[in-house]
Structure 1
Amino acid sequence: MSGVLLFGVGNDPVGYTLLALSVLTAVFTDRGLARHLALIAAGLLIISAVPLNADLSTQHMILMGGALTLAVLVPWLVSRFVYREEVIKFPVNTGRKWPLSAKLYLLGVVALGYLILPVYLIGTGVYQNWPDASEATIFGRLFLGVNAVGIWDELFFICTTFTLLRRHFPDWLANILQAVIFSSFLWEIGYQSWGPLLTFPFALLQGYTFKLTKSLTYVVSVHLIFDFVLFLVLVHAHNRDWLPIFLY
Structure 2
Amino acid sequence: MPAADRALAPADVPPLTAARLLPAIGVALSAVLLFGLYDQPVRPGGYLLLVVSLGAAFVLDRPLFQDLLLIAIGITIVSLVSVEADISYLNILVLGTVFTLAVLVPFLIDRLVYRRRTIRFPWRSGQKWEPWERSYLISVPFLGWLILPFYFITSEVYLNWPAVEAPDEIARLFVGVNAVGTWDELFFICTCYALLLRHFRPLVANILQAIIFVSFLWELGYQAWGPALTIPFALLQGFIFTRTRSLTFVLIVHLLFDLAVFLVIVHAHNPGLLPIFLVPSP
TM-score tier, shorter chain, comes to: over 0.9
5+ residue gaps, structure 2? 1-28
Question: Is 2:263 the counterpart of 1:232?
Answer: yes
Q: How does 1:75-90 map to 2 (within 5 A)?
A: 75-90=106-121
Partner of 2:219: 188
Cα RMSD over matched residues?
A: 0.8
Counterpart-to-counterpart distance in 2, 1:128 and 1:247: 19
Within 5 Å, give how 1:191-210 maps onto structure 2: 191-210=222-241
Report deviation, 1:6: 0.6
Deviation at 1:68, TM superposition (A): 0.4
Of 117, 124, 136, the residue aligned with 1:93 is 124
| In 1, Cα distance between equivalents of 2:137 and 2:274 | 22
Structure 2 letter corresponding to 1:4: V
SS at match of 2:126: coil
Q: How do residues 32-181 of structure 1 correspond to structure 2 at under 5 angstroms?
A: 32-181=63-212
Answering whether residue 28 of structure 2 is matched by residue 3 of structure 1, we say no
Scaled by the length of structure 1, the TM-score of the pair is 0.98
User: Identity rate of aligned residues, in percent?
Assistant: 55
**Paired letter, 1:83:** Y
In the other structure, the counterpart of 2:18 is: none
Distance 2:176 2:253 in 1: 17
Instruction: Return the alpha-carbon distance in structure 1 between the equivalents of residues 229 and 125 of structure 2.
Output: 29
TM-score by length of 2: 0.87
Range that drifts further, 109-118 or 140-149: 109-118
Structure 1 residue runs of 4 or more that deviate by more than 4 Å after TM superposition: none
- 1:112, 1:128 → 2: CA distance? 22
Instruction: State which drifts further: 129-138 or 65-74.
Output: 129-138
- Residue 44 of structure 2 aligns with which residue? 13
In structure 2, the residue matched to 1:221 is 252
Q: Could you tell me how far 1:97 is from its partner in structure 2?
A: 2.1
Q: Which moves more between the two structures, 215-224 or 91-100?
A: 91-100
Distance in 2, Cα, partners of 1:129 & 1:152: 20
Code of the residue aligned with 1:241 in structure 2: it is: G
Alpha-carbon distance between aligned partners in 2 of 1:222 and 1:100, rounded to the nearest angstrom: 15
1:142-175 Cα deviation digits (max 9, x unpaired): 0000000000000000000001001111110100
Q: What stretches of structure 1 of length at least 5 have no aligned partner?
A: none
